[in-house]
Amino acid sequence: MKKLLSLNCLGEIPHVESKYKNNDQDLLIINRDIDPGFVEEYKHLTEMVTYASERSKVKTLIVTSAVPEEGKTNVSVNF
């Protein structure tokens, strides 16, 4: 992404499999059983986006992907 679009990466959320088929509620950061590293990545992403938006006066954030089922909803809800 950085090379193709000349953009900086503000964070990466690790891939975590849901324990239950067709139920991603266990991937919410409020879940007590979620990996602490997963939660920390969201905290880091929040800090980086906040910092970047303050510097550039950005007021809109879009979560998108090229294909279905990549976790857009989980990212949006957890963010």
> How many angstroms separate the most distant Cα atoms in the chain?
41
> What total number of domains does the chain contain?
1
Other CB atoms within 10 Å distance of the CB of residue 78: 19
Q: Where are the alpha helices (DSSP H) in 11-57?
A: 36-56
Per the confidence metrics, is the pTM higher than 0.85?
A: no
With CA atoms as reference, report the closest residue to 41 among 22, 27, 24. 27
Q: Are 79 and 46 in contact (CB under 8 A)?
A: yes
Q: Which domain holds residue 72?
A: 2-78
**pLDDT confidence bin for 38, thresholds 50/70/90:** confident
Q: Which of 16-20, 31-35, 51-55, 59-63 has the lowest mean pLDDT?
A: 16-20
